[in-house]
Amino acid sequence: MSLSYRQPGVVLTDHRFTVPLDHADPAGETIELYAREVVASDKAHQDLPWLLFLQGGPGHGANRFIGRQAWLDRALDEYRVLLLDQRGTGHSTPAGRQTLPLRGGPAEQARYLGHFRADSIVRDCEHIRPRLTGGAPWTVLGQSYGGFCTVTYLSLAPEGLNTAVITGGLPSLDAHAEDVYRAAYPRIERKVGAHYARYPQDVERARRVADHLLHHEVVLPNGYRFTVEAFQSLGLMLGSGDGSHRLHHLLEDAFVRTPAGTELSDAFQEAVQGLVSYAGHPLYALVHESIYGQDDRPTAWAAERVRAEFPQFDAAKALAGDAPVLFTGETVHPWMFDADPALRPLRETADLLAARADWQPLYDPARLAANEVPVAAAVYHDDMYVDTAFSLRTARAIRGLRTWVTDEFEHDGLRVGAPRVLDRLLALTRDEA
| Catalytic residue numbers, as ranges | 144, 358, 411
Task: Report yes or no: 92 and 32 within 8 Å, Cβ to Cβ.
Answer: yes
Q: What does each C-alpha distance from 238 to 83, 308, 383 come to in angstroms?
A: 26, 21, 10
- How far is Cα 91 from Cα 217, in angstroms, rounded to an integer? 36
DSSP classification of residue 94: B
CA angle 174, 177, 178 (to 5 degrees): 110
Q: What does each C-alpha distance from 295 to 26, 298, 321 come to in angstroms?
A: 25, 8, 42
CA angle 430, 170, 61 (to 5 degrees): 95
| Nearest Cα residue to 20 out of 116, 95, 100 | 116
Single-letter amino acid code for the residue at 320 = A
Length reported for the chain: 433
Instruction: Decide the pairing of beta strands 402-406 and 375-380.
Output: parallel
- How far is Cα 181 from Cα 386, in angstroms, rounded to an integer? 10
| Nearest Cα residue to 383 out of 134, 44, 143 | 143
**Number of C-beta neighbours around residue 256 at 10 A:** 12
- How far is Cα 311 from Cα 356, in angstroms, rounded to an integer? 28
Q: Is the peptide bond before 58 cis (omega within 30 degrees of 0)?
A: yes
Q: What does each C-alpha distance from 62 to 301, 306, 368, 376 come to in angstroms?
A: 27, 31, 26, 21
| Nearest Cα residue to 243 out of 229, 253, 233 | 233
Phi, psi of 39 (to 5 degrees): -140, 145
